[in-house]
Amino acid sequence: MREPPLSNCEKSFLLKAIQEGKRLDGRETYDYRNVKISFGTDYGCCIVELGKTRVLGQVSCELVPPKINRPTEGIIFFNLELSPMASPAFELGRQSELLVKLNRLLERCLRNSKCIDTESLCVIAGEKVWQVRVDLHLLNHEGNIIDAASIAAIVALSHFRRHDVSIQGNEVTVYTPEEREPVPLSIHHMPICVSFAFFQQGTYLLVDPSEREERVLDGLLVIAMNKHREICTIQSSGGIMLLKEQVLRCSKIAGVKVTEITELIQKALENDKNVRKEGGKCGFVESMPKQWITAFKVEKALVDMSDVEEKAEEILSRAETPAEMASKPVLWAPGTAQIGEGLESSWRDMEEEGEVEDEDDEGGIDDPTLAVSQNIDMEDIPRKQEKNSDDVIILSDSEEDEVIILEPEESRKNTRSKHYAVPSAKKATGGKKKKKKFTL
Amino acid sequence: MDRDCCLRVFACEQNLLSRPDGSASFLQGDTSVLAGIYGPAEVKVSKEIFDKATLEVILKPKIGLPAVQEKNQEQIIRNTCEAVVLATLHPRTSITIVLQVVSDAGSLLACCLNAACMGLLDAGLPMKSLFCGVTCALDSERGIILDPTDKQEKESRALLTFAIDSLEKKVLMITSRGSYSIEELQQCIATSQKAADKLFQFYRDSVSRKYSKS
Amino acid sequence: MAGLELLSDQGYRLDGRKAVELRKIRARMGVFAQADGSAYIEQGNTKALAVVYGPHEIRGSRSKALHDRAVVNCQYSMATFSTGERKRRPHGDRKSSEMTLHLKQTFEAAILTQLYPRSQIDIYVQILQADGGNYCACVNAATLAIMDAGIPMRDYVCACSTGFIEDTPLVDLSYIEEAAGGPQLALALLPKSEQIALLEMNSRLHEDHLEKVLDAASKACRDVYAVLDRVVRDHVQEVCTLLGE
């Protein structure tokens, strides 16, 4: 589906509002939208909502052989997917520029900044390391995908617990969560991306652009920082020209925002940890807002099963008995048998298509070697033998000239010799099939 | 026979995404599926049908890329929806149902069906009837288990999923794995129809709550 | 890599340069006759070749045509023999796609596309030998190629990469310095107006050092500008002499 284009008047309205310092949702220039983090029951699963932009993150891990040039390091793999539900413009299977850009930015932000200790993911150097896979799905696109995705990625990684392993010599034992407590990943720092949108050739700046604002922007600057004020990645995109002062100012703003967001993340992680420790219920069911009218929850419901047996029996007794199935195969000759009668071929009456009919039979014999169609083939063979003795065979396949064979017996021999390959193949396959049948 | 016949906690949230025309999140115990519906919308010329709407289902797993298993489930859900949605009212349009698995703890296909139905309701698409998905697991000792969890599914000898419609409780779709007898099949169907009653009551309650003024 | 000192006590780097010294830049314009514009640049051991076609009519789908501007189409590829180990995929993988997007973005900002509505300008860049500063060499080569093609630009686009080791910014990184893993900044600058066309940074750098690094990078870009300007003037003089004017 194509995204409906932005009208000129809407565009000029947005730009004019930005010139006056106003935003459509009432925020200030440097304000972020509300960040809401909820966790699922499995470790490593979280949903992050930045305003209305929603991203689902899931971390999983498995043991794999390491990369050849880095035998002592684990592998981290990021994958961000723009789900077709997020926006009508996102279609399945098309690797658009936006997707490449976002994925590369995420990789650089999280992998190159070494926020996860990959050395700790090594189990046996050169043979087995943990491969940690972070899958991010964008569920709703209301602007600023990269910020929401980076928050989801780092929260999911912090929440994740991998299986505990023990090494005895060359033997690796992976413990399930029931045997031993799963181990969290060692995370050095939490890089968070902050997006700055520039309008009117860099004159106006907005933090955390919404979807409408993203459509009218001239350029975007993404700065990823952690709470120690270390810049992990800077990326400018779009066709704007920046000045050094602008970049420095943005980095200062980013520092402030990142501290706020990191605090929020820590609080959410703490909350979840406490709830799990106390054994309380956790997961998306619990974090659903109960007071909203669009959300509804019902406790465990018992289903009345008393008359199920009677009902089932009643249905069965009312059902007609299926037609009598052909039971025993009729043995014609060693290696050929017939089960059932089969249907009368409706093409027998039509003379021109007599040959086609024969070819059909033969076609039917040549192809299948499945056990299922064996029975049908067995049936076809005696029928064909019957037919050969009955029909007048017309050899010509053109419908124009009528070639009438004067001596049917010879013609039969002709057809037999013409298709000499088939009877022997028939016998061979019949033989093979016979063997197959017995082993069944 | 001692049967474990209770449905897990279920919850539903409607209209939670702003971009799709209709959206619903359906939770059954720990299994959670999010559905986003777009439609009736523009359709590509190659896919358009002159007298009906083109229905498309996309199921996205949480980890990894979609594989054959997902394609199979998409086809099943699509067939169920096509039987119910009045596609002839919107010819030459497309209706897209996108399902995202948020967490999987047993009876996933049924949860997808339920989420799809609630999403279609939220999007306001015309339907002949509602439908719901119910999963039954047949265990060696305990008989029929309704709405099995992950562990129960793995230990079962047969797993059947039914899609049941709301008008006459007819069966719209059956898919199963494992072997079972004809009597067991009929019993499972009867059980699912009973469970479907509860589910339809839940649908009604949640929709009336959504439109209530108090 | 622990044994290699990227910056010695006397302030010399591995290849004998000082911290703020650029590598030797050699460039030639007009290397291909059939392309509208072409250039070849060597920055130390990094060799890049850029070819420009255009402005011409939009090839392929008409839907991509912009009614008021030209479309800039870029492709970045690395020759399979350019790196130490044979490169399997010259283009199409994520890193190359990203570089392509960056190039496109840089030149869309620099070229006066309003002068050519409904047309297309193609820029193809190939790295023949990669020894650090790939993106920067591409940008410099492409600038020269665009000049050779005669397409009007706002200003030269000069790019340089900068690293940061032991409180000192290192300018124009080589492959060994890049692989060491410290922070790296790639900056594409329009020298006269000091406007930044592209800024890209990897790895951790403390915010307080950002200004220092940016300053060093800007200075380096201005040095590159001086060299490129020299190259362009020499080339034009040569061409004029050959034409007999």
Number of structural domains, chain A?
A: 1
- Domains in chain B: boundaries: 10-212
In this prediction, residue B194 carries a pLDDT of 87
Question: DSSP code of A112?
Answer: I
Q: In what helix (H) or strand (E) does residue C235 lie, and over which residues does it extend? A: helix C210-243
Chains that touch A (3 or more CB pairs under 8 A): B, C
Range of the domain at A35: 18-280
In this prediction, residue B29 carries a pLDDT of 86
Structural domain contains residue A397: no
In this prediction, residue A40 carries a pLDDT of 86
Cβ pair B9:A304 closer than 8 A: no
Triad C82, C86, C90: Cα angle to 5°: 65
The share of chain B scoring above pLDDT 70, in percent, equals 97
Structural domain contains residue A300: no
Which one of A62-71, A137-146, A381-390 scores highest in mean pLDDT?
A: A137-146
* pTM metric for this prediction: 0.81
In the predicted structure, residue A124 carries a pLDDT above the cut 50: yes
Structural domain contains residue A315: no
Taking a C-beta distance cutoff of 8 angstroms, is the pair A134, A37 a contact? no
Length of chain C as a residue count: 245
**Positions of E strands within B48-142:** 54-60, 94-103, 131-139
How much is the CA Rg of chain C, to the nearest whole Å?
18
d(CA A56, CA C236): 57
Least confident of A42-46, A201-205, B110-114: A201-205
Contacts of A139 in chain B (CB under 8 A): 17, 34, 36, 100
Length of chain A as a residue count: 440
Contacts of A225 in chain C (CB under 8 A): 207
In this prediction, residue A410 carries a pLDDT of 47
CATH of the domain at A220: 3.30.230.70
Residue of B nearest to A78 (CA): B64
Contacts of B186 in chain A (CB under 8 A): 311-313, 315-316
Taking a C-beta distance cutoff of 8 angstroms, is the pair A190, A207 a contact? no
Phi, psi of B70 (to 5 degrees): -70, -40
The four Cα atoms A24, A28, A29, A30 give a dihedral, to 10 degrees, of -130
Q: Does B92 touch chain A (CB under 8 A)?
A: no
Q: What is the pLDDT of residues A66-103, one digit of tens each?
A: 888 888 888 899 999 999 999 888 887 666 788 888 99
Helix (H, G, I), strand (E, B) or coil at A119: helix
Taking a C-beta distance cutoff of 8 angstroms, is the pair A378, A339 a contact? yes
Q: Does A86 touch chain B (CB under 8 A)?
A: yes
The closest CB to that of A133, out of B32, B63, B100, belongs to B63
Q: Does B106 touch chain A (CB under 8 A)?
A: no
Task: Say if strands B54-60 and B94-103 run parallel, antiparallel, or are unpaired.
Answer: parallel
Structural domain contains residue A351: no
Q: Does A111 touch chain C (CB under 8 A)?
A: no
Contacts of B111 in chain A (CB under 8 A): none
**Positions of E strands within A227-287:** 230-238
Phi, psi of B114 (to 5 degrees): -65, -45
In this prediction, residue A401 carries a pLDDT of 60
- Domains in chain C: boundaries: 25-243
For an interface test with C, the pick among A69, A217, A244, A250 (most C C-beta atoms closer than 10 Å) comes out as A244
User: What superfamily in CATH does domain B10-212 come from?
Assistant: GHMP Kinase, N-terminal domain (3.30.230.70)
Residue A217: CB atoms within 10 A of its CB come to: 21
Contacts of A87 in chain B (CB under 8 A): 19
d(CA A188, CA A182): 19
Closest approach of C109 to chain A, Cα-based (Å): 5
Q: What is the mean pLDDT of residues A350-356?
A: 50
The share of chain A scoring above pLDDT 90, in percent, equals 29
In this prediction, residue C229 carries a pLDDT of 94
Closest approach of B127 to chain A, Cα-based (Å): 21
Of the two residues A307 and B7, the one the predictor is more confident about is B7
Q: What is the mean pLDDT of chain B?
A: 90
Scanning the structure block, which residue is given the tokens 């022997």?
A424
Least confident of A417-426, B109-118, C234-243: A417-426
In this prediction, residue A366 carries a pLDDT of 39
Q: What is the mean pLDDT of residues A318-337?
A: 72
Scanning the structure block, which residue is given the tokens 């029929």?
B144
Q: What is the mean pLDDT of residues A243-248?
A: 89
In this prediction, residue A409 carries a pLDDT of 53
In this prediction, residue A296 carries a pLDDT of 78
Cβ pair A284:B62 closer than 8 A: no
Q: What is the mean pLDDT of residues A184-204?
A: 90
**pLDDT-based confidence at residue B111 (cuts at 50, 70, 90):** very high
Closest approach of A166 to chain C, Cα-based (Å): 31
In the predicted structure, residue A120 carries a pLDDT above the cut 60: yes
Cβ pair C211:A230 closer than 8 A: no
* Closest C-alpha among A26, A28, A24 to residue A11: A24
Chains C+B touching (3+ CB pairs under 8 Å) = no
Residues of chain C scoring pLDDT < 50: 1-2
d(CA C14, CA C77): 28
* B80's tokens: 């169920």
* Closest C-alpha among B6, B5, B7, B3 to residue B26: B7
In chain A the first and final C-alpha atoms are separated, in Å, by 53
Taking a C-beta distance cutoff of 8 angstroms, is the pair C49, C126 a contact? yes
Cβ pair A142:B19 closer than 8 A: yes
Least confident of A218-222, A283-287, A398-402: A398-402
Cβ pair C210:A103 closer than 8 A: no
For an interface test with A, the pick among C153, C178, C210, C221 (most A C-beta atoms closer than 10 Å) comes out as C210
For an interface test with A, the pick among C88, C158, C202, C208 (most A C-beta atoms closer than 10 Å) comes out as C202
Taking a C-beta distance cutoff of 8 angstroms, is the pair B41, B125 a contact? no
**pLDDT-based confidence at residue A404 (cuts at 50, 70, 90):** low
Cβ pair A235:C199 closer than 8 A: yes
Closest approach of B131 to chain A, Cα-based (Å): 18
Cα four-point dihedral sign A383, A384, A389, A392: positive
Of the two residues A10 and C244, the one the predictor is more confident about is A10
Residue A386: CB atoms within 10 A of its CB come to: 10
Q: What is the pLDDT of residues B35-57, one digit of tens each?
A: 999 989 988 899 999 999 999 99
d(CA B69, CA A70): 34
Cβ pair A298:B10 closer than 8 A: yes
Cβ pair A298:B11 closer than 8 A: yes
Chains that touch B (3 or more CB pairs under 8 A): A
Cβ pair B18:A142 closer than 8 A: yes
Q: What is the mean pLDDT of residues A334-345?
A: 77
Q: Does A98 touch chain C (CB under 8 A)?
A: no
In the predicted structure, residue A420 carries a pLDDT above the cut 60: no
* A155's tokens: 């929260």
Residue B164 CB contacts under 8 Å (≥ 6 apart), including other chains: B131, B132, B133, B134, B170, B171, B172, B192, B193, B196
Cβ pair A85:B15 closer than 8 A: no
Interface A-C, measured as beta-carbon pairs within 8 A, has a size of 92
* Closest C-alpha among C167, C204, C156 to residue A225: C204
In this prediction, residue A286 carries a pLDDT of 65
DSSP string across B72-83: HHHHHHHHHHHH
How much is the CA Rg of chain B, to the nearest whole Å?
17
Cβ pair A140:B187 closer than 8 A: no
| Alpha-carbon distance values, B100 to B205, C6, C107 (Å) | 24, 49, 39
Exposure of A1 by Cβ count < 10 A (0-12 exposed, 13-18 middle, 19+ buried)?
middle
Taking a C-beta distance cutoff of 8 angstroms, is the pair A253, A207 a contact? yes
Q: What is the mean pLDDT of chain A?
A: 77
The closest CB to that of C207, out of A236, A243, A251, belongs to A251
DSSP string across A353-368: THHHHHHHHHHHHHS-
Of the two residues A262 and A298, the one the predictor is more confident about is A262
Task: Say if strands C119-129 and C71-78 run parallel, antiparallel, or are unpaired.
Answer: parallel
Q: What is the pLDDT of residues A276-310, one digit of tens each?
A: 888 766 667 666 666 677 777 777 767 666 666 77
* A115's tokens: 């926020």
Of the two residues A377 and B211, the one the predictor is more confident about is B211
* A329's tokens: 């195969």
* Closest C-alpha among C186, C168, C190 to residue C178: C186
Cβ pair C95:A244 closer than 8 A: no
**Domain spanning C25-243, CATH architecture:** 2-Layer Sandwich (3.30)
| Alpha-carbon distance values, A204 to A19, A20, C167 (Å) | 7, 10, 33
